Amino acid sequence: MTDPQPRSSLPEGLRPTTLAIRGGQERTGFMETAEPLFLTQGYVYPRAADAEATFLAQLDRFSYTRYANPTTSAFEERLRLIEGAEACFATATGMAAVFASMACLVRQGSRIVAGRAMFGSTLLVLDELFKGWGIETVYVDAHDNDQWAAALATPADVVFFETPTNPMQDIVDIVTVSELAHRAGALVVVDNVFATPVLQKPLALGADVVVYSTTKHIDGQGRVLGGAVLGPREYVLGPLQTFLRNTGPTMSPFNAWVLLKSLETMDLRVRRQSENSLEIARWLEAQPGVVDVRYPYLPSHPQHELAVAQQEAGGTVVSFTLDGPTDPDGGKARAFAFLDALRLIDISNNLGDVKSLVTHPATTTHMKSGFEGRQRVGIGESTIRLSVGLEDPADLVDDLARGLAAPF
């Protein structure tokens, strides 16, 4: 009997669910089953001439973990395959990804057009840091294509938005906004955190770049921070890589190793959490103590059809507003009574975890927006953001019922 041929590289055309488990793995000589963790800062050279050749970019090898690391590269490659992007660079946090994705493109006099409803730290980057550097940001209500058309009648360098938005889940029409942006000369960057790599593919809809906080659903189990930027080779391996390698917010190999394993279960987690979310959103809609439920896959969502066209499921976050006072003090008292009566769902400003988490945006994530700022993006004073986990939805419903029954 002859020896069987050793297995070579993976077959072509594997689907994202398979790539999430198999993609990006290069086994070492030990032929380990799982992905190895290379917790090393540097790499050694057998000869001085090899170090020189590496610095001359004549030799393609690892030289320093701020530049690249085998474990981090494996994570980048796996996420790249799932996303269907040409290239990926992993970062220390989601904010490092958001900041670098734009900072590597803009300079004094640049113009950014962005959705108004956005992650708090992203708003601070645009309104305080970039503004101070002479970079202008024009905001639009991101679900309104007419406002995008008006803002993009003037040339722009970057278009940036989240869809669905946090926490009110407005949906941005990625196809239309990308067309408008490209006519204005802008690169389109989408913060795809809420939709996740599983449910929405912005690059296939016309966007140029996707950014993630891998802290959210990609980890999904509340352990490590991280981020990623994905897009065309000439952008990621060009200005973005130069910016990240030399300013330093690269991902730790340990975090990359945790996240690499997380990607194996991401599809299962996100789809089940979305099913749980839809069930809970439907239940909330039927409760007298709840005046408004925002979930993209509820037919009552004002952009339900667009959400169904653009996303494979509704996502893992349900936002709802409690009946009762709408002023800041009254709304806060109502919301706090609800939150403090919960015994299972944790109060936390994070999201995307397998543990269900709940937050009151008006006093946490959107406190800095002020009452008027919140009104403008539709956040009520008693609005609750629920990140739905993997618990039995019947137990989550029982807990939410406890919250609704709380006296205030």
Ligand X SMILES: *Cc1c(COP(=O)(O)O)cnc(C)c1O
Please report which helix (H) or strand (E) contains residue 245, including its range.
helix 241-247
* Residue from 77, 162, 219, 267 binding ligand X (CB under 6 A): 162
Distance CA 328, CA 168 (A): 18
* Residue 128, token pair as written in the block: 């305080």
Candidates 53-61, 77-85, 87-95, 129-137; binding stretch for ligand X (CB under 6 A): 87-95
CB 44 to ligand X: min, Å: 33
Q: Binding marks (x or -) toward ligand X, 111..150, rule CB under 6 A?
A: --------x-------------------------------
Candidates 102-110, 145-153, 210-218, 294-302; binding stretch for ligand X (CB under 6 A): 210-218
What values do phi and psi take at 161, rounded to 5? Answer: -155, 165
| Sequence-ordered strand ranges (E) for 163-298 | 187-191, 209-213, 227-231, 290-294
Q: Which is nearer to ligand X, 303 or 359 (CB)?
A: 359
* Residue 151, token pair as written in the block: 């803002």
* Residue from 69, 93, 196, 274 binding ligand X (CB under 6 A): 93
Candidates 66-74, 90-98, 308-316, 321-329; binding stretch for ligand X (CB under 6 A): 90-98
Q: Which is nearer to ligand X, 212 or 338 (CB)?
A: 212
Distance CA 113, CA 152 (A): 8
Q: Which is nearer to ligand X, 184 or 255 (CB)?
A: 255
3-state secondary structure of 324: coil
| Ranges within 178-207 binding ligand X (CB under 6 A) | 191, 193
Q: Which is nearer to ligand X, 123 or 290 (CB)?
A: 123
CB 299 to ligand X: min, Å: 25
DSSP state string for 136-160: EEEEE-TT-HHHHHHHTTS--SEEE
The 8-class DSSP code of residue 363 comes to: G
Regarding 230 and contact with ligand X (CB under 6 A), the answer is: no
Q: Which is nearer to ligand X, 184 or 240 (CB)?
A: 240
CA atoms within 13 A on the CB side of 110: 21
Burial class (CB within 10 angstroms; exposed 0-12, middle 13-18, buried 19+) of 16? middle
Q: Which is nearer to ligand X, 119 or 283 (CB)?
A: 119
* Residue from 78, 111, 116, 216 binding ligand X (CB under 6 A): 216
Residues 6+ apart with CB under 8 A from 293: 281, 284, 285, 300, 318, 319, 320
| Ranges within 6-65 binding ligand X (CB under 6 A) | none
Q: Where on the chain is the footprint of ligand X (CB under 6 A)?
A: 93-95, 98, 119, 162, 166, 191, 193, 213, 215-216, 225, 227
